[in-house]
Structures are given as C-alpha cells and as structure tokens.
Amino acid sequence: MRIASAALAVCLVAAACGGKQTNNAESQASDSCEATSGRITIATGNTGGVYYTLGGGLAQLISDNTSLKASAAETGASVQNIQQLVAGDYDIAFALADTAADAVNGKESFDGKPQDIAALARIYPNYTQVVVRADSGINSVADMKGKRISTGSPKSGTEVIANRLLKAAGLAEADVAAQRLALRPTVDQMKAGQIDGLFWSGGLPTPELTDLTTSMGEDVKFIDIMDLFDDLKKINQVYEEGSLPAETYGLPADIPTIVVPNLLLVTKDFPAGNACAITKLIFDKKDELAKVHKAANAIDRETAVETDPVELHPGAAQALGVD
C-alpha cells in the first residue's frame, strides 16, 4: 500500500484516537532486529503541522512492513508528548531536541523530574517561523509588546521557544497578550485580524502556513529573529542557525532563522527489537515517508545518532550501526 495515499486513513483525527494500545510483544533477544506483534501508538502534534502529517505516514509504514499495528494521534506536541510517553499513554513520540534536553535534565517544564526517555533517531529539523500581519507595526520580537500573539499550543515545543524568544527580547509575560492556540485556529484568527502575529516551530513547508501566506499574500510577513540567537544558544546548545528558503512560501528572499532538530523518542524499556526494526525501516523507506511530506528528505543516517543529551536506544543504535 502506498503510504502517501493511505497515511490519513490511520487514526489521526483527534487526540481521542490516541492512547497507548496493548503491546503483546514477547521478550526479544538483545540482537534481534525484528518487530514483535502488537499495537503501538505515536504522539504527533497539531493538525496542519508536519508532526501530524509525517506521524500518520510513519504509522502506516510500520503497519505495512512489520507485525506491529501502529496508529497516530493529534496532540499538543513536544512537552505533552514526552509527559504522556513517560506516563505510558504512547509508545513513540515526536519532540523538539530542546524540549527533550529539558526532559532528561529535569529542567523547565520538567523541573526536578528527569524523564526516562531514549531516542530512536534525530530526524528532520524544525524551523522557527515568526509571522506577523504587515499592518501590525511588528518588525522584531521586541515590537510584540502590547500585541496579540499566538505562542502555540499549551505544552508544545513552539510554546517553549516562543517564551524563550520573548524573554530574550526583554519582554515579560504580561507584556504580550499571549494566545495559546493550536496552529489551525491561529491561522484562522490571523486571517480574521484577531491576532497580530504567531510563533511556529515546524518542518518545511508547514501546510497551514502555506495556506496563510497564499491567502493573505503581502498582508503578512516573516520577521528575522537572529538577533536573539546568542541568547537562546546560552540556554541550550541544540539551537542552530538556518534560513527559510524563499521558495518555501513564495517569499521575496530567504529569511534567517533559528533551527531545532527533531527527535523520535521512546522510553528506555521500549523493546529493543521493535526499536531496531522501526529505526531501520525509517531509513530504508525514507523515500516513502518523503512522499507523505518532503520534510522527511532531511532525515540523514549520518546525523541520526546526534541525539545528545538524550541517549540513543540500544535497539536504534544497532539499526544505525553504532557500537
């Protein structure tokens, strides 16, 4: 079955579709790279985001090529995903590397409570995309004082980086009328003139932002946030410099921005054979994932092992040829 056409048939329309399924996996030999039978669930993110789209494709890929039956669910993304992964609600979770680093170190949203997680791989990068209405008077994050700004879903990686950028720009929490919205209502409210700007951390292109830029054209603009890069780098070394290519959304020029890698996470007790089989599948069938969303083209075997400070799961290490 071609996952490009079948991915959305997977249970992916609401968080209620999620919830960890019974995994009937039996014990596996440490050197096994075969998946057991059973059911697994994947925590993704907002509808319209790349996590959501690619998560459905990954679930279909696993179901079509192993004895596991996988389903994916819409969630609030990174922070929520890690919390519910550790709680046992999901088996695999997409998350931003900065949030995952906070989790293993017991910082920020995980204050004092290091999370028992491991990585299957570093996958594609997320680009920090800050979009404002052209008539908002906003040309920098500092200009957001007194404005209505969507900082992303509660407990999302977008919210984490949005709050860090606002703080780095010298703004206190009360300085911005923060709207903690998922991406679809954010775009709808931007179109209606009900909010002045948004933060989004996602792969390229993000479908909802394609919709926004196509429908509003020159009435919206992306802003350069690189004056805040050094401050964010002091918080977490995972932040990288990058740029939004102009052709992504039909922009006049490339936009410099802050890039954050994404990780696929599991708990440390996730069966090694399943971890190995799924990780191997991701790289062996990368072209099929790229048909679901072209962000998957950025998945690279050479950088897949760069998950520090999150440990690579032993099964994933086997699949990637790491001693």
User: In whole angstroms, what is the distance from residue 279 CA to residue 9 CA?
Assistant: 22
Q: Please report, rounded to a whole number, the percentage of residues in the chain having pLDDT higher than 90.
A: 87
Residue 156, H or E segment: none
Question: What are φ and ψ of residue 200, in 5° steps?
Answer: -150, 135
Helix axes 183-192, 207-216, angle to 10 degrees: 10
Cα separation, 217 vs 21, whole angstroms: 43
Type of residue found at 45: G
Cβ atoms of 42 and 12 closer than 8 Å: no
Question: Which residues lie closer than 8 Å to 175 by C-beta, 6 or more apart?
Answer: 144, 145, 146, 166
Which pLDDT score is estimated for 12? 44
Q: Rounded to the nearest 10 degrees, what angle do helices 97-105 and 157-168 cross at?
A: 90
Which residue type sits at 29? A
d(CA 317, CA 312): 6
Query: Pairing relation of β-strands 38-43 and 148-150?
Result: unpaired
Which regions of the chain does DSSP assign to beta strands (E)? 38-43, 68-73, 92-96, 117-133, 148-150, 177-179, 197-202, 220-222, 240-244, 255-267
Tell me the C-alpha distance between 213 and 134, whole Å.
Answer: 12
* Per-residue pLDDT reduced to its tens digit, 82-113: 999 999 999 999 999 999 999 999 999 998 99
So what's the pLDDT on residue 48? 85
* Nearest one of 120, 128, 130 to 299, comparing CA atoms: 120
Tens-digit pLDDT string for the chain (323 aa) = 444 444 443 444 344 344 554 444 444 445 789 999 999 999 999 988 999 999 999 999 999 999 999 999 999 999 999 999 999 999 999 999 999 999 999 999 998 999 999 999 999 999 999 999 999 999 999 999 999 999 999 999 999 999 999 999 999 989 999 999 999 999 999 999 999 999 999 999 999 999 999 999 999 999 999 999 999 999 999 999 999 999 999 999 999 999 999 999 999 999 999 999 999 999 999 999 999 999 999 999 999 999 999 999 999 999 999 97
> Cβ atoms within 10 A of the Cβ of 222, count?
21
pLDDT digits (tens, 9 = 90+) for 234-290: 999 999 999 999 999 999 999 999 999 999 999 999 999 999 999 999 999 999 999
Distance set, CA 305 to CA 17, 41, 117, 118 (Å) = 31, 23, 15, 12
* Cα 150 versus chain centre, distance: 17
Domains of the chain, CATH where assigned: 3-124+263-319 (3.40.190.10), 127-260 (3.40.190.10)
Predicted TM-score (pTM) of this structure: 0.88
Residue spans of alpha helices (H) in the chain = 3-6, 50-65, 78-87, 97-105, 157-168, 183-192, 207-216, 229-235, 246-249, 272-284, 286-292, 314-319
Model pLDDT, residue 30: 53
